[in-house]
Amino acid sequence: MPEKQLLYIKELDALRFFAVSGVMLSHWSRDIQKLSFLIPVSSYLANCGVNLFFVLSGFLITKILLVNRDQENKGFVLRQFYGRRFLRIFPLYYLVLLICIAFNVPEARRYDGWLFTYTSNIIIALTPGKVGYMGHFWSLAVEEQFYIFFPFIILFTGKRYHIKLFYILIATAMISRAVSYFIFSDKIVAGWVANSFTNCCFDCFAIGSLLAYYSLYRTEKLRKILKFDFLFIFFGLGGSLTCYLLSLAGSNPLAAMILMRFLFACFCFWLIGNANEGYFTGIFRKILQNKVLIYLGKISYGLYVYHFFMTYIFSYFNFPFKTYLYPVVTIGLAAASWQFYESPINNLKKYISYKKRKPENLSGKLIIDNNVDIESIR
């Protein structure tokens, strides 16, 4: 079966920008008075943005691991994977965390143990609203916890079991969210647990993993699946929005808790799949190929990390319209961070690249360049 190259897909960076935009709009709409009417909508967009990040992570991580899993030395692949993840995620995260502790940013010192160990998703669920300016780090904790065990599933289980394991992860997430509803009498806590516990997020990662598997090994079947535009948009995007509205109304919170993330992740399957395979045409293709959006997507990790501190930073200034400077300052910080800190560290990946495979021209297989960096996940 022919193998694919690990290529950098610029459209995926544009999707990262849309993901982080939803999160930023949600948090900033509470501070910008004229945007207060957007709070219910922006909360949904924040939920969508985080889940889009999760599906993207599942897709890219699975693709990297599947391409490299056939090497004899799987321990080597595992070490390279964690080394490259370390370079991309940890330096910025721990730098910002240390700065927050040094300047005594509210709640940074109180929850430093949770933050240093990437377990803040647990405390934020059990103490809703108490984590202050550290609250947005919960999604990074979820991703890091997922990375602890998931590579072992891909590298050390037979390829024929992968799809079944992905479906098991999807079922685990939906069951976990249902269980949390019945375990916690405080439904606010139950909702946070369902939202931020790692096992409750498995379906997003697994749906991204399914997309990676089909993209590599069942391309024609994936092409046919992605042609069902109406179903993905109506049941995925429309279904998740309906669940969100039901949750606001309180009419069916259990069904909303179970289904909303899953349905939107299905929409992400379609969205990322079409972007990755180059199937989008017309205006949407032009949007995803916009150089500005692609660049903003490239620095989206910094945008995500810095944006939540804008309220705190600008609380020390007293001038009108300061809230409208939030995006300007956030983009400036993220751009400088990428240029002078993240990118130089990220370039060190060349010293811990995956092994290259030998060209197999006679077999008709494509040469896989494992040094191509498709890993610029948050």
* Cβ 49 vs Cβ 21: under 8 Å: yes
The answer to whether position 56 is within a domain reads yes
The answer to whether position 34 is within a domain reads yes
Task: Count the alpha carbons within 13 Å of 343 in the hemisphere toward its beta carbon.
Answer: 11
What are the structure tokens assigned to 130, written together?
Answer: 């108490």
The answer to whether position 1 is within a domain reads no
pLDDT at 378 (0 to 100): 63
pLDDT at 27 (0 to 100): 87
The answer to whether position 285 is within a domain reads yes
Q: What is the pLDDT along the chain (378 residues), one digit of tens a residue?
A: 444 557 789 999 999 999 999 999 888 887 665 655 666 777 898 999 999 999 999 999 999 999 999 887 899 999 999 999 999 999 999 999 999 999 999 999 999 999 999 999 999 999 988 899 999 999 999 999 999 999 999 999 998 999 999 999 999 999 999 999 999 999 899 999 999 999 999 999 999 999 999 999 999 999 999 999 999 999 999 999 999 988 888 878 899 999 999 999 999 999 999 999 999 999 999 999 999 999 999 999 999 999 999 999 998 888 877 888 999 999 999 999 999 999 999 999 999 988 654 444 333 333 334 444 566 656
The answer to whether position 322 is within a domain reads yes
pLDDT at 369 (0 to 100): 41
The answer to whether position 199 is within a domain reads yes
* DSSP notation for 110-166: TTHHHHHTT-HHHHHHHSTT-SGGGGGGHHHHHHHHHHHHHHHHHHHS-GGGHHHHH
The answer to whether position 369 is within a domain reads no
- Structural domains in the chain (count): 1
The answer to whether position 350 is within a domain reads yes
The number of beta carbons lying within 10 Å of the beta carbon of residue 176 is 20
Supply the range of the domain harboring residue 343: 10-363
Residue type, 118: Y
Name which of 283, 239, 281, 278 is nearest 262 in CA terms.
Answer: 239
SS3 content of the chain, % helix, strand, coil (to 5): 75, 0, 25
pLDDT at 266 (0 to 100): 97
Radius of gyration of the chain (CA): 21
* Cβ 175 vs Cβ 183: under 8 Å: no
To 10 degrees, the CA torsion angle through 47, 49, 55, 56? Answer: -170
What phi and psi, each to the nearest 5 degrees, are found at residue 357? -90, 155
